[in-house]
Copies of this chain bind each other. A is one copy, B any other.
């Protein structure tokens, strides 16, 4: 191609100015073509595009960022150690959705881990420098200072899972309430009557909603809610087995358990085994997340699937809208800033 010869002539990479000269137009016009402005005649556009191709012109991102005060990059912030990121399919699925949606755009995705204090300080510095146009926040705990920092810096952010019913940040979540209902209704439909619940960490809003769903599913089916059948867990395996042991002690006649996560269910399974209960014969078990662990458990675990990839997609949609809204002369975007996606029960042999 001509690109190399032409590029060589001027020394470095071709600039807007050079493209303009070659196309016989002004700098502003080239800029308009590059940025897809409609206010350019077809003939001019064609001439500019030809010049761009001939010179192998690629816009200088730094110059653009400086002049336009934007970076065309967004960050996916994972406030966890990398280990968890690689261990849990949640993150890779999310990343897949995010990447897919983002590849439609010119935006660049940055993956940032902020598990340690040190990494968090680095991140704060990074955000203060406004090196990204927006932030995707996954797996945020109720007391995390990150969201506040972001709004202080006026950086658009979208959160996966609201921190409370009054969440101010845009968020994308799955229907924790509905998912819990599905799980419990499923167990009831299989003839189970004493359905226990091992909760997640109570400072996670989604865990609260799952409890609500559990309660309402029982009430609406005409069963009372036995508080002694609810035991607190923390999403971990140990928490699950500890909670299960407590439940068995209190209500040895329980015949089903809805655990707030698959990992919790794995812990519960362990405790049930040790107590000599068979799954599902004596006790039916349902988890949440439909992660790899659900499929590989023995017996395979019935679980509530969240559409994580889709959640990633929607988060990007929301974030891009937020980002666009802060740009000059943007029309206000959609007002549905809290998205909730449906869950799906995946029945397996544990129930």
Contact = CB atoms under 8 A, between A and B. Distances in A.
B129 A59 contact: yes
Contact of A58 (B59, B63, B119, B125): B125
Interface stretch (A92-100, A169-177, A274-282): A92-100
Interface residues of A, number: 33
B99 A113 contact: yes
Given A62-B62, A86-B89, 9 more contacts: A58-B125, A58-B128, A60-B66, A60-B130, A62-B71, A65-B66, A66-B66, A83-B92, A99-B113
Q: How many chain copies does the complex carry?
A: 2
30 contacts: A13-B130, A56-B128, A58-B128, A59-B129, A60-B66, A60-B129, A60-B130, A61-B65, A61-B129, A61-B131, A62-B62, A62-B63, A62-B71, A65-B65, A66-B66, A82-B92, A82-B95, A82-B96, A82-B99, A83-B92, A86-B86, A86-B89, A86-B92, A103-B118, A103-B119, A108-B110, A108-B126, A108-B131, A110-B110, A111-B111
A60 B82 CA distance: 28
Contact of A129 (B58, B82, B96, B131): B58
A122 interface: yes
Nearest to A56: B128
A180 B113 CA distance: 36
Interface string A81-117: 0110010010010011001000100001011010000
Contacts of A122: 103
Contacts of A92: 82-83, 86
Interface string A38-71: 0000000000000000001011111101100001
A66 B58 contact: no
A191 to B, nearest CB: 38
Given A82-B96, A103-B119, A103-B122, A62 B65 contact: yes
